[in-house]
Chain A
Amino acid sequence: MGQVTQKYDVLVVGGGNAALCAAISARRAGASVLVLEAAPKFYRGGNTRHTRNMRCAHDAATDTLSGPYPEDEFWDDLSRVTEGHTDEALARLMISQSKEILDWMPQQGVRFQPSLGGTLSLGRTNSFFLGGGRAMLNTLYRTAESLRVAIQYEAEVIDLELDAGMFLSATVRRGEERSTVRAATLVAAAGGFEANIEWLKTYWGEAADNFLIRGSPYNRGTLLRLLLDRGVGEIGDPTQCHAVAIDARAPRFDGGIITRLDCVIFGIVVNKHAQRFYDEGEDIWPKRYAIWGRLVAAQPDQIAYMVFDASVLTLFMPSLYPPVQAASMRELAEKLGLDPAALETTVGRFNAAVRPGTFDHSILDDCRTDGIDPPKSHWARRIERAPFYAYPVRPGITFTYLGTRVNREARMLMRDGRPAANMFAAGEIMAGNVLGRGYAAGIGMTIGSVFGRIAGREAAAHARN
């Protein structure tokens, strides 16, 4: 064991939006603050690096928001996407406090902009960070540094010393070096465990080897595991994660948002046996976007292929990797490594089942199939105009739902329900309290900022006493 460093009022473990909001808020309340970020400086901030907006309630349009988003509407949206898997009191607290965040973030230097091109549907509800999540993160770091918040990178907390719900010290690994950090309070803001493949395997088995992790490889859940093992109450389904279908050619980690493919509705999706397995026209974005990761995870070898033709190539956002292209369906199958006869049969049967209709991808239109299983309920058009295209897709894991239970002060609750003496949590590590299932764009940043700010304030108040 290495040296014992200076004792801080507040130790923040993590380096993303929630961690920085907590650190800034605690520091502004007069506390001395140390931030320990496990990642190197470039990769600091976990999944915040890949975000682009946050969802905050507001009563009137602003320079960057096209109209009001009342608290009740936010609550309706949240209860719908979570299908009731949310703590209403905490959720309503978060929604109410999110209003202040719209002013608080700019006070920390963060700049908002109107919604990005192609995201008009979020222009009223979501505030976009100018330059994206890393720009926002850089700003928060600059602000924290100017407030003399101490920040260490490549500093992973690998052990915690607790005494009956009371945080005493943390063991920190920096390279080969081990040290002990003491602090009056702990704010846990170190994200989920989506990048910990071994942990994912305990629920998903070997299939997890074929999962791609959309965010930072540093979200290993080390701190979450330590807290749960030391008696902190657990929330959220440990087996569940947010998964979308992303380009199979994406890197194993950190491909971010740009590996997404949102062209399911424009063609058909087949598995490695060239068989369709789900209604591609079931629902409109964002629901269809969020179910396909799970659907592909359930297919053999966790791989699928989005197949479409030249008539729709330019109807969706340009992709990071070009689609596989071929002059005929047979050739496409060969390029994809699929059985050509099987793919031709699948496409032929699909084409024969397509009924006439008026195509409109912005609504649930009347283009559908008849007589095949699974059906394609909307946007069904024959795949017949060469060249033919395909994207190989795999499950892309965004975040996990398992977390630490907290109360209105962002204070962790122990397994027996008692509040922890001096431990708080913010961000993805406690998101399961309000987001037990599903997702709504920008809500992760809202959870991080609101509970980060509360956690920092409460931790500073506790440290003073």
Chain B
Amino acid sequence: MPATDRAGTRGDVVHLTPALAEADRLMTVCNACRYCEGLCAVFPAMEMRRAFPDGDLNYLAHLCHACGACYYDCQFAPPHEFDVNVPKIFAIVRAESYSAYAWPRAFAPLFERNGLVIASAAALSVAAFIAAFVAWHDPAVLFGVHKGPGAFYRLMPHGAMAALFGAAFLYAIAAIAMGARMFWRDSAGARGPRAGAAEFWRAITDTCTLRYLDGGGVGCFNDDERPRDARRLHHHLTFYGFMLCFAATCVATLYHYGLGRQAPYAWYDLPVVLGTVGGLGLLIGPIGLLAAKWRRDPALADEPRYDMDAAFIAMLFLASLSGLALLLLRETAAMGFLLALHLGVVFGFFVTLPYGRFVHGIYRFLALVRYATERRAFEDAGEIDATPTISTGQGGTRP
């Protein structure tokens, strides 16, 4: 009999990566403790299981919002020999899962050196827009002053713009959907109880309020053991800023096709107001998130993937900055260049959407749907306080 096995290690389960093996060990330790049950969704979901195959670990990792509370609350965190650091391991598992679920499979390596990939994609598409504007027109058109309805389309016909961005957007949607499908199946969502409208609604509200990015009510931890982190605010600014910009694009599309009104629109018109307000959110939010990333306690950070997060945040920031600059300077000679810059950044953003940090939102939402569904099944069974019953996907129903 070994005197001291490494706590929580099971000899009988093989995992795809060392991070997943460590996540299994941690969940085994945590499942024997359960002190963090009230902090977020991860630990109640863990308690519904006795074994942790890879799919379930990916699900639990995406339920984790990296609020940090369980690390500072844990009596077994390092330097304790049990070495329990759930936020860090789950950050690694999440990052690995992005490439594991990438579609098509051949693009999975794009998650490696992701910052370089995204930066190159953005630079290339900006260069392509500038080159195309110049190639199709006299360079004088690029640096000319264009005003009034249809000014942008003198540089690029609306049909071409709509077709190009529509294609990029549809591709992104399709690739993300394929990844989401793989995640859902792998995390046993397909085998588990069916999600109904109520569970989707619960997941939507949990997502929109960032219910689990609050350290269990006291606020998130990021720099140290004091819960004074503002990531929730900055994430809200980023998320709602993005949604407002998206809404601005949708309204403008309606104006164009429905009302026959061509951009650019006056500063007080709805697409511009939505885009400006959203754009401001997309300036402040990403700065806050990036600053939090810099300040993050190294004990919690998945540093090798730092560039993936930074690249995504930077792209959001640049899309907003170039859009607002375009708004301010659209009646000057800088308009042509700024349009190419803005379109290039946005195009680069869309085509890399399935291969960057954006996908965290999709997987996390699906994890919340699954959690809401499991909770319901659990409550229906009237066993909320008994030993959990759930199909683990690895050995059938447990009493």
Report A's interface with B, CB cutoff 8 A: 42, 49-50, 52, 111, 113-114, 116-118, 120, 128-135, 138, 142, 248-251, 254-259, 314-322, 324, 335-337, 392
Interchain CA distance A257-B81 in the complex, whole Å? 15
Interchain CA distance A396-B38 in the complex, whole Å? 27
B97 at interface by CB-CB < 8 Å: no
Interchain CA distance A49-B35 in the complex, whole Å? 11
Interchain CA distance A458-B81 in the complex, whole Å? 40
A-facing mask of B46-87, CB < 8 A → 1, else 0? Answer: 010010000000000000000001101111110111000000
Interface residues on B, range: 35 or more
| B386 cross-chain contacts in A, Cβ below 8 A | 118
Asked whether, in the complex, the Cβ of A320 is within 8 Å of the Cβ of B74, the reply is no
Asked whether, in the complex, the Cβ of B3 is within 8 Å of the Cβ of A249, the reply is yes
- Beyond the given A132-B75, A251-B7, please list 18 additional residue pairs across the A-B interface where CB-CB is below 8 A: A42-B79, A42-B80, A49-B75, A111-B216, A111-B218, A118-B34, A130-B38, A130-B39, A131-B36, A132-B74, A133-B35, A135-B69, A250-B4, A316-B387, A317-B31, A317-B32, A318-B28, A335-B1
| B12 cross-chain contacts in A, Cβ below 8 A | 322
B65 CB, min distance to chain A CBs, angstroms: 15
| B2 cross-chain contacts in A, Cβ below 8 A | 249
Asked whether, in the complex, the Cβ of A133 is within 8 Å of the Cβ of B75, the reply is yes
**Choice from B1, B10, B385 contacting A392 with Cβ under 8 Å:** B1
Residues facing A in B367-399 (CB within 8 A) are: 384-388, 398-399
Is chain B's binding surface mostly helix, strand, loop or mixed? loop
Asked whether, in the complex, the Cβ of B74 is within 8 Å of the Cβ of A134, the reply is yes
Asked whether, in the complex, the Cβ of B34 is within 8 Å of the Cβ of A130, the reply is no
Asked whether, in the complex, the Cβ of A314 is within 8 Å of the Cβ of B398, the reply is yes
Interchain CA distance A118-B37 in the complex, whole Å? 11
Asked whether, in the complex, the Cβ of A336 is within 8 Å of the Cβ of B50, the reply is no
**Choice from A114, A132, A318 contacting B36 with Cβ under 8 Å:** A132
Known: A117-B385, A134-B74, A315-B399. A320 touches B39 (CB 8 A): no
Asked whether, in the complex, the Cβ of B1 is within 8 Å of the Cβ of A117, the reply is no
Interchain CA distance A209-B44 in the complex, whole Å? 38
B304 at interface by CB-CB < 8 Å: no
A223 CB, min distance to chain B CBs, angstroms: 23
B260 at interface by CB-CB < 8 Å: no
Residue of B nearest to A115 (CB): B385
Interchain CA distance A118-B75 in the complex, whole Å? 20
B160 at interface by CB-CB < 8 Å: no
B150 at interface by CB-CB < 8 Å: no
Residues facing A in B122-153 (CB within 8 A) are: none
| A256 cross-chain contacts in B, Cβ below 8 A | 33, 75-76
A235 CB, min distance to chain B CBs, angstroms: 29
Asked whether, in the complex, the Cβ of B79 is within 8 Å of the Cβ of A320, the reply is no
Interchain CA distance A335-B1 in the complex, whole Å? 7
A377 CB, min distance to chain B CBs, angstroms: 24
Asked whether, in the complex, the Cβ of A320 is within 8 Å of the Cβ of B35, the reply is no
B11 at interface by CB-CB < 8 Å: yes
A192 CB, min distance to chain B CBs, angstroms: 18
Interchain CA distance A268-B76 in the complex, whole Å? 31
**28 sample A-B contacts, Cβ–Cβ < 8 Å, listed by A number:** A49-B75, A52-B35, A111-B217, A111-B218, A116-B34, A116-B38, A117-B34, A117-B44, A117-B384, A118-B387, A130-B216, A132-B33, A132-B75, A134-B74, A134-B75, A135-B35, A138-B225, A142-B226, A249-B3, A250-B4, A251-B7, A254-B80, A256-B33, A315-B399, A318-B28, A318-B50, A320-B29, A321-B8
| B269 cross-chain contacts in A, Cβ below 8 A | none
| A135 cross-chain contacts in B, Cβ below 8 A | 35, 69, 72-73
Asked whether, in the complex, the Cβ of B4 is within 8 Å of the Cβ of A138, the reply is no
Q: With a 10 A CB-CB cut-off, give which of A49, A324, A392 has the most chain B CB atoms.
A: A49
Asked whether, in the complex, the Cβ of A258 is within 8 Å of the Cβ of B1, the reply is no
**Choice from A131, A138, A314, A318 contacting B399 with Cβ under 8 Å:** A314
Known: A134-B73, A249-B4, A249-B5. A315 touches B387 (CB 8 A): yes
**Choice from B80, B216, B384 contacting A131 with Cβ under 8 Å:** B216
**Choice from B1, B10, B34 contacting A337 with Cβ under 8 Å:** B1
Interchain CA distance A49-B70 in the complex, whole Å? 14
Interchain CA distance A247-B389 in the complex, whole Å? 26
8 closest cross-chain pairs (CB), A and B: A132-B35, A131-B73, A135-B73, A113-B38, A258-B32, A320-B32, A49-B75, A258-B33
| B216 cross-chain contacts in A, Cβ below 8 A | 111, 130-131
Interchain CA distance A149-B28 in the complex, whole Å? 38
Interchain CA distance A118-B387 in the complex, whole Å? 7
**Choice from A138, A315, A319 contacting B72 with Cβ under 8 Å:** A138
**Choice from B1, B10, B72 contacting A248 with Cβ under 8 Å:** B1
| B33 cross-chain contacts in A, Cβ below 8 A | 132, 256-258
A82 CB, min distance to chain B CBs, angstroms: 27
Interchain CA distance A458-B254 in the complex, whole Å? 74
| B39 cross-chain contacts in A, Cβ below 8 A | 130-131
| B72 cross-chain contacts in A, Cβ below 8 A | 134-135, 138
A98 CB, min distance to chain B CBs, angstroms: 22
Known: A318-B50, A320-B28. A131 touches B1 (CB 8 A): no
A143 CB, min distance to chain B CBs, angstroms: 12
| A251 cross-chain contacts in B, Cβ below 8 A | 4, 7, 81
Residue of B nearest to A252 (CB): B4
Interchain CA distance A129-B75 in the complex, whole Å? 13
| B4 cross-chain contacts in A, Cβ below 8 A | 249-251
Interchain CA distance A320-B32 in the complex, whole Å? 6
Interchain CA distance A256-B70 in the complex, whole Å? 16
Known: A117-B385, A118-B385. A131 touches B28 (CB 8 A): no
Interchain CA distance A209-B205 in the complex, whole Å? 55
Asked whether, in the complex, the Cβ of A314 is within 8 Å of the Cβ of B387, the reply is yes
Known: A131-B36, A131-B73. A321 touches B5 (CB 8 A): yes
Known: A118-B387, A318-B50. A131 touches B35 (CB 8 A): yes
A-facing mask of B262-284, CB < 8 A → 1, else 0? Answer: 00000000000000000000000
Asked whether, in the complex, the Cβ of A314 is within 8 Å of the Cβ of B50, the reply is yes
A-facing mask of B89-131, CB < 8 A → 1, else 0? Answer: 0000000000000000000000000000000000000000000
| A319 cross-chain contacts in B, Cβ below 8 A | 32
B15 CB, min distance to chain A CBs, angstroms: 15
B200 CB, min distance to chain A CBs, angstroms: 26
| A254 cross-chain contacts in B, Cβ below 8 A | 80
Interchain CA distance A318-B34 in the complex, whole Å? 11
| B384 cross-chain contacts in A, Cβ below 8 A | 117
